[in-house]
Structures are given as structure tokens and as C-alpha cells.
Amino acid sequence: MTNFSVEELCTLHTSLSKMDVERIKEVSGNLPLIADLNQANVFVDCPTKEGKHAIVVAEAAPNTAKSVYQKPVAGKFAYEAFEPAVLYTLRTGKNMFLNRALTQEGKTVEQSVVPIKGSEDRVIGALIMEKDISEKLQRQLKLEALSEATETLSGILIGMAENRPIIPEVIEESLFFIDQENKVVYNNPSATNLIHEIGKEDCRPGVLLIDCFPCIQEILNEPEELLVKEMKMMNKVFRVKKISLDVDGKSNGTFIILKDLTELREKEREIVVKSVAIREIHHRVKNNLQTVASLLRLQMRRGVPEESKVHFVESLNRISSIASVYEIILSSSSVDEVDIYSLIEKVGNMLVHEAKHEQKKIHIQYKGPKILIDSDKAVSLSLVINELIQNCVKHAFKQMHEGKVDVCFEYSNDEIKVEVIDNGEGYSPNAKPSLGLDIVKMMIEHDLSGHFLIKRAETGTIATVQFPFERKEE
């Protein structure tokens, strides 16, 4: 496998960046050494654009041992049904060692998978090592699972020995076992029910499966021993699995497994429609809030009493902080979740910018991990953060022209903790109660089921907000 071939496969089948592709090429260049050192076949798989499967972009067979594969697999897809460890590692970034797996040529191997990470610690691929299990074990498995006689296959694989079905009788999927001529040898009860649903009298042994399902011919013509494909038949959507039982190049029959995905796909379609509707609602709410804010600004430009101006500004900031929630949702791929860091940063920067008009130089910085919360919680939190930072801007630096505000948040023990710290004049417990702090207490206690504490520090004030990540049932 040349570097150009790796780049070509990544470009055609994945969404990796150029930097990520270079990282994959770098790892792929070491595969021959890794294969010889471990006496094993090694591969690099990358997630496809759709994210449902993986694509083999590079491979190497050992010169120090017999290869597990007779045919190249680079360029073939790895399906989750047959490669669960690979897809698990790609999605979670976790290692999988000494996992028993079935290769695309039907051989049992010992498989280990580790993630390949790119920039920002993102998983961009998986490095896979597959070792052939001992010939003795392979021989035993073949004798048990791949007998050349159809009658033995029925007894061992289909579970008809002693008239006691083992697995196929209870699974929901419709299972057919066909011989080399594509004639039905066995079908389970679910398959029988499916035959009746399509108006066929029966699918008895000896009947061609394509007589009942003409579309199956397409998947039977594919050369792959293991194949998963989604197909439309009889106004329904099915996931079709083909498992060919080949020994030394000779076919011992094929399993065809059908699963009805119609209801699942319909629910997915409904979710997409609902997601679009939710985003449209968010868009309208944001527009309405911006309209209200524009009206307030227009009124302020036309003139308001000086004693009322501060109340207009506070109301304008509250409306703008709520609008920030919906702006963040609409600018992200999430349907109804908001990143806390982005929200706090947007609200804080807006308030500090307002402070510049009062000839105050306030420095603000933020610290915290990426945490997503529901939009309803985000609205309450945005108002809380607005009031606390606005409180710093308005009261902490009355006698100062320059100040500093730190906004820190963290997630621990299923709770989110936010601290707003300033180096201003310091909070006085005897100060007159303000509407802003009343809003904070109300939002924290009633909307977020949490608690609020504000205290004087050695220099300035520390305001602490703490609430459960998941709202408790009332």
C-alpha cells in the first residue's frame, strides 16, 4: 500500500483533514515493521464520512509468519456487525486487547485495537493487529461450524440436532440458510412469518431464495464472504447480511439474515423533522429577542430620563444574554444543547465591551472544560452569569479605572460549579439588596435546583454558583 493509495482512500471515503491524513500516512509507513515484529497482520482503519462504518486504508502482512489473509482487504469497508471492537475504539478512543474476532475471509483471529489520534486528541483512525489462532483451534472450529455436509451444517450451525433449535428459533431476524445453488436448506420461524407477509405460501427446502426475494440476487452476486447492505423490498427497508461459509475455496452454503428497519428509519425521519422544527423555533425566539433589544436601543437613542437609563441598559443586557443562548445553538450542530464556555464567554465579552463606554478598562478571562447543557438550563445560567458579571462591572470598580474578572467553572460529582471572581472593592454583607442578586438567587434555587454564595475575599469578591448537572425531580 503506497502513501498515495492511503491518501486517495482517505480523501474518497473519510472527512479527515490534510493534517490528519498525514498522520495516518505516517503510521501506515510503519506497518511492515510492526507486522514482522509481532508476526501478525496489521491494518489502519478510518471512520467513513457517514460515521456508521470504517474503511481499511492500509495493511501489512508479516514476512516472519503466515498471513491471516489470502486476499488484500485495503479499500474494503469494516462493518460494526463484524468489527465491533474497531468501531468501539473509533467512537470512544479506548483500547481493545485480545478480542476474538472473525476476519472478512471467515477466519477466527485474536484482535487488538488501539486508537490513532490527531490534533486536539481526536480519534482519526484505529491501528489493528490480528494474530492467527493455533491451527488446532481453527481445525476444531471448522469441524464444528463449517462441515461440508448440509445435514451437519443444519445440526451444528442452525441447531437442529435432536430437534432442539439453539439460536435461530428465538431471534427476531429472518434467517435463511441456502446451499451452493442458492436453494433454501433452512429458515427460522421469523423467516416463515416474513414469507407469509409478502404473500408467498411457503419457502420450503429446495426452493430458490430469489424466487421469494428477487432483490437478494444482487447481494448474492457480490464476491465478499461477509457483507451488510441496506435494501428496499416490498415498500420496506431491510438490513441484509450475507455470511458465506467457504473452506479452502469451496462453498459450504450461505446465511442470509434479514432485519426489518422500516420502523427505525421512520422514527429517524421523524427525529430529523422535529430537529428542524426545534431549530426553527430557536431561530424565531432569537429574532424576537433581538427585536425587543432593538426597540430598547431605539428608545434610548430617542432619549430617556438619566435615572432610567441604567434600568434600560440592565434590561437590554438581560435580553441579550438570553439571545446568546439561541445564537450559540444555531451556530452549532447541536439541536437543543449549549456549550457553557461559549455561553459565558459571549455574555462576559458583551458586558466588558459595554464597560468601555464608561471609561473603565476591565480584563476578563475564562477557564473551564467543554460541557453541554440543555437550552432551558442555559437560559437560566445566562441570566445568572449576566447579573454576576454586570455586578462586578457596575459595583466592584466604582473607584477604580482598571480591574480584573475571572470566570471559572468545573464539573465534578454530577454538579456544575461556576465562580465569578473580581479584584475590586469587595462585597459588603450590609449592602442594600439588589434586583440583580435577587434574580440570581431565584434562578439558582427555582430553575437550577442549586445554591448561591457570595462573599468578600482578601482582594475583591467571590460569587459561587453550584447546581446539579441533571435537574432533580420535584
Q: pLDDT tens digits for 312-341?
A: 777 777 787 777 777 776 666 566 788 888
- Say whether pLDDT at 154 is over 50: no
pLDDT 10s digits, 3-56: 458 999 999 999 999 999 999 999 999 999 999 999 999 999 999 988 889 999
Domains annotated on the chain, with CATH:
3-133 (3.30.450.280), 146-260 (3.30.450.20), 265-468 (3.30.565.10)
Q: Is 409 within 8 Å of 450 (Cβ atoms)?
A: no
- What is the DSSP pairing of strand 402-412 with strand 108-117? unpaired
Q: Which residue has the higher pLDDT, 396 or 240?
A: 240
Cα–Cα separations (whole angstroms), residue 77 to 45, 241, 274: 9, 14, 32
**Which pTM does this prediction carry?**
0.45
DSSP 443: I
pLDDT 10s digits, 364-387: 999 999 888 888 888 888 888 888
Percentage of the residues of the chain whose pLDDT score is greater than 70: 83
In this prediction, residue 334 carries a pLDDT of: 63
Average per-residue pLDDT for the chain: 81
In this prediction, residue 248 carries a pLDDT of: 62
Cα–Cα separations (whole angstroms), residue 154 to 44, 160, 176: 37, 6, 11
357 pLDDT band, cuts 50/70/90, is low
In 3D, which of 240, 252, 225 has the Cα closest to residue 175? 240
In this prediction, residue 408 carries a pLDDT of: 93
